[in-house]
Amino acid sequence: MSTTPARHVLKISDLASDELAGVLALASAPIAATPLANQGAALVFEHPSARTRNAAEMAVVQLGGHPITIRAEEVGLDRRETVEDVARTLGSYHRVIGARVARHHTLERMVAALSARPHPVSVVNLLSDVEHPSQALADLLTIAQCFGSLAGRSVAYVGDANNVCRSLVDAAVMTGVEMRVAAPEGYQLGPDDLERAVRLSREAGLGGTLRQVASPEEAAEGAEVLYTDVWVSMGQEHEAAQRRSDLAPYQINEALIARAAPGVVVLHCLPAHRGEEITEGALEGANSRIFEQAENRMHALRGLLAFLVGSS
Ligand code: CP
Ligand code: NVA
C-alpha cells in the first residue's frame, strides 16, 4: 500500500496544468488497467444527479472498482453524525470518496478528517456551490474532440458565472483557451476568480486568456464554442423568479449562434431548461454536442480517478 499522501480534487486548480493534460489523456485512452480492483468508491449526494452519479459509478466499474452511491439523508451529514465521522468511516472501506455537496466547505472537512489515515483516500468534488471540476474535464474533452486541440480555441460562456463556469474558466486558461464570460451584474465572476485565472494562465504558460464582458453578443462574436448552464442552480430555488428575470437576455438562441464562428459548437452541462437559458433549436440543432459532452462525463471521471489512484 502506498505511503504517498492522497491527492484530492476539490477544484480544477488542485491539478497542475501538466496533470490536467495527463487526466485528459487518460480519459481519451482505451480502457485497459484496473487500478481500483478490489477497492471501493463511496459516492455521496446531497443534491440530485443524473449524469454525475451514473458517470462516476460506471467510471469506477471500468477501473475495476465497486461504487456505492449514498444519498446524503442515509448518512445524515451533520445530522445523524458529523461530516468528519462519516468521512473517516467511509474512508476505512473505500479508496475514493466522491461527494456532491451544498457547501464546498463540507469537502474540505472531509479532506481534513482523512488526513491522519494510514492509507490514502482521495476526495473528489462531484459538484459544490463553488466548483464542478469533473464537468470542466468533460467540457475540455468535448472541445478537444471537436477541434483536435484546445490551445487557441475561443469559448464563450453566457449566463450565470456559477460553479460550472468557475471550473470551466480555470480549466480553460490552464490549457491555453481564449475564454470569454458574459454575465449580468450580480452574476459575474469575482475579483478572486479573475486573479486566479491570471495566475493559472501564467503558470501554465499556454497563452490562455479570460475576458469578462456584460453583453452576450460581445462574448459570442466569432466564438468557436458557446456554453451555458441553468439560471437557477441547486439550492437557489428561492431566488428563481429574480434570477429568471435578471438572466433573461443571456440565452443561447439562434440569433446568438449566428454571431459565433461558422460551425460553432454549442455546449450545456445539463440539466437544461428549454426556453430559459437555451432554446430548443439551439439544444437540438446541428451545432449541439451536448449529449457527447454528457457521455464525456464518464470518460473524464475515469481519467481523473485513474490519475488520483495512480498518484498516491
Ligand atoms: N451536469 C451534471 O452534473 O449533471 P447531473 O446534475 O445530472 O449530475
Ligand atoms: N450550476 C448547476 C449545475 C448542475 C449540474 C447547479 O449547481 O445546480
Residue-wise pLDDT for 50-84, tens only, equals 999 999 999 999 999 999 999 999 999 999 999 99
pLDDT of residue 116: 87
Nearest residue (by CA) to ligand 1, atom 4, is 51
> Ligand 1 centroid vs 47 CA: distance in angstroms?
10
Report CA 180 to chain centroid distance, whole Å: 17
Strand partners, 31: none
Alpha-carbon gap, residue 228 to 30, rounded angstroms = 30
Nearest bound ligand to CA 267? 1
> Ligand 1 centroid vs 294 CA: distance in angstroms?
8
The answer on pLDDT for 2 being more than 80 is no
Contact indicator for 103, 128 with CB cutoff of 8 Å: yes
pLDDT of residue 137: 99
Nearest residue (by CA) to ligand 2, atom 2, is 233
Residue of 52, 69, 137, 301 to mutate, ligand 1, most atoms within 8 A of C-beta: 52
The secondary structure element, H or E, covering residue 45 is strand 40-45
Residue-wise pLDDT for 80-120, tens only, equals: 999 999 999 999 999 999 999 999 999 999 999 999 888 99
Output the pTM of the full model: 0.98
Domains of the chain: 12-131+297-310 (3.40.50.1370), 133-293 (3.40.50.1370)
Asked if residue 51 has its Cβ within 6 Å of ligand 1, the reply is: yes
Cα–Cα distances (Å) from 33 to 8, 16, 30, 68, 270, in that order, read 21, 23, 9, 21, 30
State the virtual CA torsion across 77, 78, 80, 82 in degrees, nearest 10: 90
